Structure 1
Amino acid sequence: MSPADTQQPSAPDDPTAHLPLLELRDGLSDVVDTDSALTETVEAFRSGTGPVAVDAERASGYRYSHRAYLVQLRREGAGSALIDPIPFGDLSALGDAIVDAEWIIHAANQDLACLAEVGMVPRQVFDTELAGRLLGYPKVGLASLVSEVLGYRMRKEHSAADWSTRPLPAPWLVYAALDVEMLIELRDAIEQELRREGKWEWAQQEFAAILDAPPREPKPDPWRRTSGMHRVRNRRSLAVVRALWEARDQIAESADISPGRILPDAAIVEAASAMPTDRDTLQRLTAFKGRGAHRHMRTWWEAIDHARRLPDSELPKQGPRYDGPPPARAWADRDPDAAARLSAARAAVAEIAEAHRLPTENLLAPDTIRRLAWSPPKDLDVAVVTAFLREHHARQWQIALTAEALTDAMTSEAATLD
């Protein structure tokens, strides 16, 4: 049956309140968690036709790992399936069964890594979120696109649930199944819009780039991403942040618990700012009075004491390690010419983005613009700028739209400065 027109109470300021609430057209299927059920599911999806809607649920904010705790699929001829990957560990048989199909994923870069962990790797993707960005939709969340493009209101109440919970409650499973319920219809409607606006080839290049992207490398000094780091003023305090962060990370990884649930960032920053001289002083800090912090008090104090005793030569340096240009806010003082180039380049890209109804960051990565303006190649011309953009992984459609405009903007700015 078609999604029901059943209405449920909505917030008074919900602009989608008048829309029919999306319901499961085939009802809620049982979770696949046995070998026999998985075998049936694999064969059903192998026999299905057309693209496959794919989604995955993680337990971000609850678990240390980013593994998938539920995988949802839907395909014509196969219906929908909810698969618990935990009993299996490996779902490569399922991945192989649909590998030749196009996988429709909303925000693919969020799910591809955890899907790959269980052996599911696509050869073709259609990213509905990215496509929505290319079409200039102001809101590109799945619920927003489903309401705007297809005219249905989606449930949102379980988006931040702990998906490592077992057994998963039925309302959560309904929510998860709805995430793939209309992805195929959404994909088809969006393709029509992309073709109508002359952006279909752009989307194809973007989808190919998703699959071609190398695995994300671990960021250097991840402890520097601690929230509230701007309050830490000296290298000794930075050493305390690093020591506490690393101690917390070891505990979190061992227990598979989100680090913030063991010790919040606020506690790390408070300790680094207060620089306690003994364990009793540490225990009196407000952020260390919680149950989680108190449980590992000995570990926290040993980490702080170690950082306090480090020789100056082993203290971390101020500022994160980064191979790119300095923050743009500092350019006017450090290199006024570069600041002028950046302003001209940004204005040129923004004008093109507006003309094509694109977010600026989807037209050209802000980091690429900064690098080009900070240290432009010699003998700047369109060919040189084109080579620079290609080297920094810009797609051909992006280069075609921006290379000439960037060259004109930066050479004109240089002539003005001269």
Structure 2
Amino acid sequence: MRGFWGLRNAFWAMRLRVRSFLLEKADISLDEYTGAVKRLSPSVEQAQTPTKSQKFSRISNALRTQDIPKPQQNFRDIPTNAESGPFKPLLESKPHAVIPMNKALELFKDQNDVQHHPHPYQKEIEQYEYPSFVYTQAEPIPYHPYESTTAIFVDTEEKVDEMLQELKKAKEIAIDLEHHDSRSYIGIVSLMQISTRDKDWIVDTLQPWRRKLNKLNDVFADPKILKVLHGAFMDITWLQRDLGLYVVGLFDTHFASRALGYSGGSLAFLLKKFVNFDAQKQYQTADWRIRPLPQEMFEYARSDTHFLLYIYDNMRNELIQKSDFTVPDHEKDKIHDVLTRSRDTALQRYEHPVYDAAQGLGAGGWYKMLSRTPALLDKQQFAVFRAVHQWRDEVAREQDDSTHYVMANHNIFSLAKGMPTEKAALFAMLQPTSQTVRLRADELVSVITKAKEQGENGPDMISTLKEIEAHLLGVPLNETPSHFAALKQSQPQQTIPASVPSAPTAPVLSRTDSSEPSGVRAKVSQFWGGLFGGKSQNHQSRPYSSNISLSVPLPPLTAEVFASSAPLTAPPTPQASATPTSATPSESLATPKDRIFTLKERGRKRNSDAISTGNDSLATNADEIDITADESLEAKREAKRQRKEQKKAEKEAAAQHAAEVDLEEEEFDYAAAPSVLDANKVDPRDRKKNKKEPKTKAFNPFVKALDTMKGMPRQQKERAGKSMTFRK
């Protein structure tokens, strides 16, 4: 039976899709026939070339439809992601050494008593002096035409040796990397681009022998060769981690753009500024593991270094022009500032990412993510948050995937707040759900359940964060100046003048509920400080007075209020006037019952000059108040009411007649209707050539759609008319 119903449902689904396709095809055909859509001929359609964005979409769709095997599984040194000790440099030899390699790799301890291997080229970088041509202004060397040249793809060890011999002859080289960090825990360098003044190379760094590329230190560590990179902060650590390469003599064009005050600091900005070249930066986030490399991605990778030396020439000249070398201590030496920052970048060291489950410190720890998020978790939620975060890291290391590929950060917060103990609830909270979570859902549910039970008597979130921050700052816990601890700030006492009488005091309103955990609410704003009245512990709050008058003083409601246009003023205090002479409101507003008066004249401006400001009598103005009895007013009102009733009766009769006509409408005669085949097929462009032919409208199949009843018209705005009068 299940097979029968399955075939039946599939049949109906296919039938609906076919019908939808036919209706859509018919609609498109009608649009093309009426000229609403211009369709190109097949030859023109085939001759159209896809745009760059269409090419990128095609490449991205092709990458999404296939599961690329992880190239790191074919490396001779497969990463295990379980290293916990200090990172040892991958050097097999140390060319251009000032200190021998055995001494340069001796372990040392940092301030936290943790052992590390030093930077093998630290001494060489610190003592490095840039060549004189870096400080010399010269005409920029033009680059070779991009369209008539190409790059050499280096995917064998023999090609690496050939490239190395060419690089040793250069004075400056440009370097860039393409990195992939989604299907790898620590990331992986996928491509390396190198350019000289004459040639470009693209090195495949996913080959099993990629560790052999450390022979490029003959060039990378050569102090006679300047290495130009853009935004080399991450490239320096990636070269150390994957290839064992170290850069001596770095010039970072990103720091140069900042020193020169450019509005942009990206490589795409510099390419547009100096070369007028539009870099297709959509390929920056592409999957660079794909092999063979598509031509579009190959050209994009080449453009990152092909123009970089020419850009360096222009920026070097501009730095020299805007520098003042006569000022001591390099205060106005812009090029010295760029070289200093570049040197500091080259001194970075890579270390293994060690997970700290207790305090959550480190690049991939939970402390940074939790401290930057305004979320207050209870003990159970805090325990679940840390357990899920640790589970994600362990799974990512095991599968050699990034932590974000396993689970996004916001999903960890969702699970911590919801604490699901069943798979259905787990999947409902994680949308979208990664493949790893779907396959290991039972394991994740058990982790959440166990952490929820242990969290009942576990540590508190606020106190834990305070302890971690105190440890980072090296201060006692009660003196931690953070947003998790209440700062002790004092506020000066407010002095009250002696002339002001003191109000009767009332009992001070204080909070006696102690259910709120300590440290959740700070006594003083950490952003505003004591600007809004931060109080010290010894400062007593001013008591609330029970004798506070919330009334606003108002003048007597007399006739002058309605007649005068002058602003209202507060009456004198009882001390100033002991015998008030103003009349009561009831006496001042007493008017005969039969008087007719006008409240407002609509559509006419007030004449302020005609308003009387008498003190004892009500002002009389022709525009504001009319106390004359108009006998014809009642007759006008009655005539207006009769006209309204007559118009209403006419509208009702017209509506009834229209309804009767609709009921008696004849059926549509399809035989007498105009045919589509007899419609005008003449192209309007042909009629322009022969103006003698009569102009006829083309067939429009949607013209009858407008033959419908019209809705209610838009309500009209009020117009200026007669004044509104009332009888009191």
What TM-score do you get using the length of structure 2 for normalisation?
Answer: 0.40
SS in structure 2 at match of 1:123: coil
User: Pairwise mapping of residues 241-256 of structure 1 onto structure 2 (< 5 A)?
Assistant: 241-256=385-400
**Aligned twin of 2:150:** 28
Distance 1:76 1:297 in 2: 55
- CA gap of 1:243–1:23, structure 2 versus 1, over 3 A, is farther
- The higher-RCO structure (CA 8 Å, 6+ apart) is 1
**Aligned twin of 1:140:** 265
Alignment of 1:70 onto 2:167:
no
Alignment of 1:297 onto 2:434:
no
What TM-score do you get using the length of structure 1 for normalisation?
Answer: 0.67
**Aligned twin of 1:56:** 177
**Aligned twin of 1:212:** 347
**Aligned twin of 1:108:** 232
Aligned-residue offset at 1:212: 2.9
- CA gap of 1:310–1:89, structure 2 versus 1, over 3 A, is farther
Gaps of 5+ in 2: 1-50, 54-143, 324-333, 354-360, 474-479, 492-528, 530-728
Q: Which amino acid aligns with 2:427?
A: Q
User: Pairwise mapping of residues 9-408 of structure 1 onto structure 2 (< 5 A)?
Assistant: 24=146, 27-46=149-168, 48-77=169-198, 79-87=199-207, 88-90=209-211, 91-100=213-222, 101-117=225-241, 118-198=243-323, 199-215=334-350, 219-220=361-362, 222-226=365-369, 229-287=373-431, 289=433, 291-310=435-454, 315=459, 317-318=461-462, 319=465, 321-322=468-469, 323-324=472-473, 326=481, 334-335=488-489
1:331-373 Cα deviation digits (max 9, x unpaired): 9965589xxxxxxxxxxxxxxxxxxxxxxxxxxxxxxxxxxxx
Q: Which moved more, 1:298-307 or 1:275-284?
A: 275-284
SS in structure 1 at match of 2:292: coil
Aligned-residue offset at 1:159: 0.8
SS in structure 2 at match of 1:164: coil
1:13-32 Cα deviation digits (max 9, x unpaired): xxxxxxxxx97355333421
- CA gap of 1:32–1:60, structure 2 versus 1, over 3 A, is same
Q: Which amino acid aligns with 1:51?
A: E
Aligned-residue offset at 1:234: 2.4
- CA gap of 1:24–1:248, structure 2 versus 1, over 3 A, is farther
- CA gap of 1:235–1:180, structure 2 versus 1, over 3 A, is farther
Q: Which amino acid aligns with 2:345?
A: I
Task: Determine if contact 1:232/1:272 at 8 Å carries over to the other structure.
Answer: no
1:300-339 Cα deviation digits (max 9, x unpaired): 1122123213256754743383435756x899965589xx
1:366-387 Cα deviation digits (max 9, x unpaired): xxxxxxxx9xxxxxxxxxxxxx
Task: Determine if contact 2:421/2:445 at 8 Å carries over to the other structure.
Answer: no
Q: Which amino acid aligns with 1:268?
A: I
1:114-153 Cα deviation digits (max 9, x unpaired): 1112022111101111111121112100011221234332
Aligned-residue offset at 1:233: 2.1
The alignment of Structure 1 onto Structure 2 pairs a total of residues equal to 317
Q: Which amino acid aligns with 2:233?
A: N
More helix by share: 1
Distance 1:175 1:263 in 2: 31
1:276-317 Cα deviation digits (max 9, x unpaired): 234443234343755442122022112212321325675474
- CA gap of 1:332–1:307, structure 2 versus 1, over 3 A, is closer
- CA gap of 1:186–1:286, structure 2 versus 1, over 3 A, is same
- CA gap of 1:312–1:215, structure 2 versus 1, over 3 A, is farther
Task: Determine if contact 2:406/2:434 at 8 Å carries over to the other structure.
Answer: no
Structure of higher CA gyration radius: 2
- CA gap of 1:119–1:188, structure 2 versus 1, over 3 A, is same
Task: Determine if contact 2:427/2:433 at 8 Å carries over to the other structure.
Answer: yes
Task: Determine if contact 2:366/2:389 at 8 Å carries over to the other structure.
Answer: yes
- CA gap of 1:261–1:217, structure 2 versus 1, over 3 A, is closer
SS in structure 2 at match of 1:157: helix
Aligned-residue offset at 1:196: 1.6
**Aligned twin of 1:399:** none
Distance 1:232 1:262 in 2: 25
Distance 1:155 1:194 in 2: 28
Aligned-residue offset at 1:57: 0.6
Q: Which amino acid aligns with 1:37?
A: K
Please, what is the CA RMSD of the aligned residues?
A: 3.2
Q: Which moved more, 1:148-157 or 1:134-143?
A: 148-157
- CA gap of 1:192–1:305, structure 2 versus 1, over 3 A, is same
- CA gap of 1:251–1:332, structure 2 versus 1, over 3 A, is closer
Distance 1:290 1:61 in 2: 13
Identity across the alignment (%)? 22
Distance 2:375 2:405 in 1: 22
Task: Determine if contact 1:267/1:288 at 8 Å carries over to the other structure.
Answer: no
Gaps of 5+ in 1: 1-7, 11-21, 338-373, 375-418
- CA gap of 1:185–1:313, structure 2 versus 1, over 3 A, is farther
SS in structure 1 at match of 2:282: coil
- CA gap of 1:76–1:307, structure 2 versus 1, over 3 A, is same
Distance 1:166 1:250 in 2: 30
Task: Determine if contact 1:96/1:120 at 8 Å carries over to the other structure.
Answer: no
Distance 1:26 1:315 in 2: 67
